[in-house]
Amino acid sequence: MKARLTHGWKIAVATLAVVSVASCGLESGGALPLSVNPGSIQPIPELQGVKVTVGSKDFTEQIVLGYIIEFALSAAGADVRDLTNIQGSNSTRDAQLNGQVDVTYEYTGTGWINYLGNETPVPDPRAQYEATRDADLATHDMVWSDPAPMNNTYALAMSRDTATRTGVKTISDYARLVESDPGAAVTCVETEFNVRQDGYPGLAAKYGFDAGRSQRSILQSGIIYQATADGDQCKFGEVFTTDGRIIALDLVLLDDDLAFFPKYNPAIVVKKNFSQAHPEISQVMAPISALLTNDVITEMNRQVDVDGREPADVARDWLVSEGFVTVG
């Protein structure tokens, strides 16, 4: 998925945090990069001084969402530690299961497919959430709050020139092109998507084409968008539907006409014992999650990935604009 940090010191700190999580463990992360004051989120006595470590994965949207949690809980009075930008879904999940991360935004599709081992997504987003919530609680003692309406699912994209030249509109069209002319369907994907069951292997199985015939290049997520827009190295590219670069680069999304990709609605996830000790966390986050639509998160992602703003600044500015927090 998407990754962007613009200052070297942030990369160094994030790398150190990841190494700590993977090796000796980490009881708390770093300090918040920016301060906030209460807005509509007022200090909650039960959260005063409570140590809360917030984690996220290492791509733009997750980092923004992580900072949103951090600023909201800080305004509520918690002693928040920053452990955003952990490399990969599995590392982030392991950090939470091991108690190194207390709170994160996780996606229902990732929970259902990757963490719970299911191969078939549930088409209805609410049913997908409920199935994930119930199974993860029973299996791993993880508590999922109600999800946000945004859906950051996978998609395949192409430039308008590629769309015109190939006539591809749907993933079924793409599958036929892979079989008939693999060189015209060179596809750029990131490492994780290339092996995930809700990624390329599952896509090939669902649409009935031979993944072994396809020509794929493994690139970092941040490079795929521009390379797909250029259309030379990447005729098609793996993207995420809430990424602001889709609009900025005028990319065309292929219609998932067989509805393969799961729904990826983010929800606050907390371990059961932590949730029982601090139910106020989900209460603070509920009205925030309710406002996180595709349009809202796409604009925040665009500000980071296109305009070059810092994720922390974007997250705090949005919370301020909605009145949740203030700045002195």
Alpha carbons within 13 angstroms on the beta-carbon side of residue 11 total 6
The answer regarding whether domain 8-151+264-326 maps to CATH 3.40.190.10 reads: yes
Predicted confidence at residue 28, as pLDDT, reads 55
Residues 6+ apart with CB under 8 A from 39: 75, 319, 320, 323, 324, 325, 326
User: Tokens in use for 307?
Assistant: 């305009």
Instruction: Select from 109, 110, 133 the least CA-distant residue to 122.
Output: 109
Q: What six digits make up the tokens of 16? A: 């150190």
| Whole-number Å distance between alpha carbons of 162 and 32 | 44
Do residues 307 and 3 lie in contact, with contact meaning Cβ atoms separated by under 8 Å? no
Domain 154-253 has CATH 3.90.1300.10: no
Beta bridge partners of 51: 79
Q: Per-residue confidence of the chain (328 residues) as pLDDT tens digits?
A: 333 333 333 333 334 344 444 433 444 579 999 999 999 999 999 999 999 999 999 999 999 999 999 999 999 999 999 999 999 899 999 999 999 999 999 999 999 999 999 988 898 999 999 999 999 999 999 999 999 999 999 999 999 999 999 999 999 999 999 999 999 999 999 998 999 878 999 999 999 999 999 999 999 888 999 999 999 999 999 999 999 999 999 999 999 999 999 999 999 999 999 999 999 999 999 999 999 999 999 999 999 999 999 999 999 999 999 999 999 7
Cα–Cα distance measured from residue 24 to residue 185, given in angstroms and rounded to the nearest whole number: 44
Shared fold status for 8-151+264-326 and 154-253 = yes
Answer positive or negative: Cα dihedral of 64, 65, 69, 70: negative
Helices 200-207 & 171-180 angle (0-180, nearest 10):
90
Q: List the domain boundaries for the chain.
A: 8-151+264-326, 154-253
pTM for the full predicted model: 0.84
Contacts of 132 (CB under 8 A, 6+ apart): 108, 111, 112, 116, 144
Report which residue type is found at 236.
F
Sheet (strand 51-57) strand order: 79-86, 51-57, 103-107, 266-271, 142-144
